Copies of this chain bind each other. A is one copy, B any other.
Amino acid sequence: MRIREFKSVVKKYRTVFFDAFGVLKNHKGIIPGIENTFKYLDERGIDYYILTNDASRNPEALSGFYQQNGIHCITPDKIISSGMLAMDFLRSKIKTGAVAYLGTSASSHYIESAGLEAIPVQELQDGQFEDIKCMVFLDDEGFDWNNDINKVINLIRKKNMTVVVANTDINYPVNRNDIAVAIGGIASMVEDIVHKNFIRFGKPDAQMFMFGHERAMKKQPSLKRNEILMVGDTLYTDIIGGNKFGMDTALVLSGNTLPDMADIRIKGSGIIPDYICESVAIDPEESFVNAGNIHVKD
């Protein structure tokens, strides 16, 4: 497939959904040139949101990263995290009671904001098992895997309850060379052992895109799915999920899918993006010129 310039692709859409890691940031921090991208989008009146499989911290904290890096337009309302879907689920389906969780104390935000009591698995006593209404897998950090994974397995075996996984990813990059098990990977191991059916939130599941679409329609009530461009670096989450939801999709080569492997991966997987772009970064000068041109032309 032909490589396209992101700027010329994106201008056909009313809204953009960005994946975070591999698209806007990487292990070194913000990808250079992103600030021009958002300037370009703002100038053209194209709305944008970040869709991220992450339940490790709340939208304020997730947006804080961009703020600290000078991308002030990424306010908390621009963040759609898989944790928010879990929170919505808890609010509508659990209603009252205590919820056990694996994750950092920051991640418990998604339980507490649903009006429920969040109990970290490490503090859970045997006698409390009966009081637990739901178990949530939030983050891979903040607990002792040796003890607490086994404790969760026995909790779920003894008390029938709804189990929620707030991030479908099975691993995530920690630096240029290394990856780590994500909470979704731990949850899959537990699910295999207890033979129960967990409820998972996150891309590529349609519910994530639906949540984003609903959020975007608050600003643009008439926004149709095919007026949204989903931009991601991973065929198996961003692109297949975006395609299925009826959005147009752009694969970027700044993350998970390396430039020399893109064609092989697309052919091998049968997951076909509408566009391929090197990156979403926009060269500052270009940005201004084009933005100017566009205003004239339009």
Determine the chain B residues whose CB is within 8 A of the CB of A258 once the complex forms: none
Copies of this chain present = 4
A193 in complex: contacting residue of B154, B161, B170, B225, CB < 8 Å: B170
Annotate A114-157 by CB proximity to B: 1 below 8 A, 0 otherwise.
Answer: 00000000000000000000000000000011100110011011
A96 within 8 A of B: no
A267→B193 contact, CB < 8 A: no
Contact with B along A191-205 (1 / 0, CB 8 A): 011111111000001
- State whether A92 touches B156 (Cβ < 8 A): no
Within the complex, what minimum Cβ distance (angstroms) separates A204 from chain B?
A: 9
A197 CB contacts on chain B under 8 angstroms = 236, 240, 269-271
Instruction: Say whether A9 faces chain B, with CB atoms less than 8 Å apart.
Output: no
Question: Does A245 touch B at the CB level, under 8 Å?
Answer: yes
Which residues on B sit within 8 Å (CB–CB) of A163?
270
Complex Cα distance, B171 from A156, in Å, reads 14
Interface of chain A: mostly helix, strand, loop or mixed: helix
Looking at A40-48, A54-62, A176-184, the stretch in contact with chain B turns out to be A176-184
**How far does the alpha carbon of A125 sit from the alpha carbon of B125 in the complex, in Å?**
38
* Residue count of chain A within 8 Å CB distance of chain B: 57
> Which residues of chain B come closer than 8 Å to A195, judged between CB atoms?
268
Interface presence of A185 (CB below 8 A): yes
Q: Is A167 interfacial (CB 8 A cutoff)?
A: no
Closest to A180 in B: B150
Contacting A246 at CB < 8 Å: which of B92, B149, B192? Answer: B92
A267: chain B residues within 8 A (beta carbon): 160
> CB distance B154 to A179 under 8 Å?
yes
Q: Assess whether A245 is in contact with B207, with CB atoms less than 8 Å apart.
A: yes
Q: Which of B93, B144, B158, B244 contacts A89 (CB 8 A)?
A: B244
- Within 8 Å by CB of A243, from B162, B270, B271, lies B162
Evaluate contact between B179 and A244: CB separation under 8 angstroms.
no
- A156 and B206 in contact (CB under 8 A), knowing A146-B144, A243-B162? no
Q: How far is the CA of A39 from the CA of B271 in the complex (A)?
A: 47
From the candidates B150, B179, B245, B271, name the one contacting A153 in the complex (CB within 8 A).
B179
- 6 residue pairs from A and B, CB less than 8 Å apart: A89-B246, A92-B246, A160-B266, A179-B193, A197-B271, A198-B270
9 A-B pairs with the lowest CB-CB distances in the bound complex, closest first: A196-B270, A145-B145, A206-B207, A189-B189, A92-B246, A206-B206, A150-B180, A145-B146, A171-B193
